[in-house]
Every structure is written in structure tokens, then in C-alpha cells.
Structure 1
Amino acid sequence: MPDLSDTEIREFQQLLKKIYGKEAETWNINLGILELLEKLLRRSNSCGSSLDLVPRPHFAGGVIKWASKQARDAILRQFRNKDEHYYTCLKGAAIGMKTRFELASMGM
């Protein structure tokens, strides 16, 4: 595994803390953790693609103009957010993976 700086380790721990809670700060960031994190991000990606297509609320104005704008914006979000993930999607994809992260942290 490539050596990670202390800053990189803290960043991974902070990301995992947002998903799994304070306990993740104590996890040993190793190759197993990074491989699981990659799987988690891949799993959440399809959810994010779907959320990009969900229309945003309609407040005022013509419905046809609003629908047209929503379609345009959905397409733009698809292209713009390729490397971004929705927190909701990460949490959903993370369900059932915590034990795997804990074991990977212990080198198992």
C-alpha cells in the first residue's frame, strides 16, 4: 500500500466518521479500508445518478417552463456531478458494510 500522509489518513477518517459515526476515527486506514471505500463509492454512484434526475420543487410560474428547466438541469447535474456523491446515497450504500470496515481496520 502506498504510504499515506497524516493529513490523508485524517481525511479518510473524517469521511468515514460522517458515514459510520465517531467510532470510525479509531479505524486503522489500510488497503482493506481503501478497497471497501472504493466499493462503497461505486455502490452510491448509481443512487446519485438517479437522484440527479429527480425534479426539484415547483414554486411559481408556468408548469411547462418549469418542466423544461428541470429536464435541462437534470442533464447538467448528470454531467457536473460525476465525482460527487449524495450523502443520502453514501449512507444507503453503507448499510451492512460497517462490520466489513471494522474487520478491514483490524487487518482481517
Structure 2
Amino acid sequence: MVEYLSQELDAVFHALSDPTRRAMLQHLAGGKLKVGELAAPFDISLAAASKHIKVLENAGLLRREVQGRSHVCQLNAGPMHGGLEWMRFYEKFWNERLDVLEQILNTEDSEKEKKQ
């Protein structure tokens, strides 16, 4: 079970590691798009766009539906939740560290004020 979740998370972070794929997801947030429409804003071939779409699809971030000769893509943001949960651990980690640092600095400031 843990290995499966790790593979899923790896696929999501891999998919999100590329700026073109992130931009594609952003465009899909506005609604369904055909592959050609999704590829249009980028200076890439349809074959290259298809490879990016396949990576997003493999990560579960995109659903593709065949309608006749057209492939229509739709955003599936659900798998991003796993990445968000993973990052929240580190958010908590750093918030705790920064809280401790704030306490130390406040204590030092208080001690300096007492000496003056």
C-alpha cells in the first residue's frame, strides 16, 4: 500500500516538474479542451504535446475522452491532494522551527531591555 502511494506521488511530482505540463493543467482548469486546443499556446508539435498529455494522464491529473476523431482532455486535480498532504508535513515542520526561533529572539529582546 505504501509503495503504491509512493509511486502515485512520484508520478504527480514528475508531471508537475515541467512548466509546460503545469501550464496545460492551468488551461484545463478553465474547462475541457481538445488536444489541439491544449497544445496551441505552446511552441511544440502535436506529438510533443501528446507526450506531455500522456505524462499528465499517467499521473491521473488529466482524463482523456475520445469523441469521434477528437480527444478531449479534462483536469482531474484529485491526485494533487497527495502532494499537498506531503508538503503540509514540511509546512508544519518549518512553522514549528520558526515558532521556536521567534521565542528565542523575543527572550533575547526581553533580556536586552532589562539590562538597559
Shorter-normalised TM range? under 0.3
If asked which structure has higher relative contact order (CA below 8 Å, sep 6+), I would say 1
* TM-score, length-scaled by structure 2: 0.26
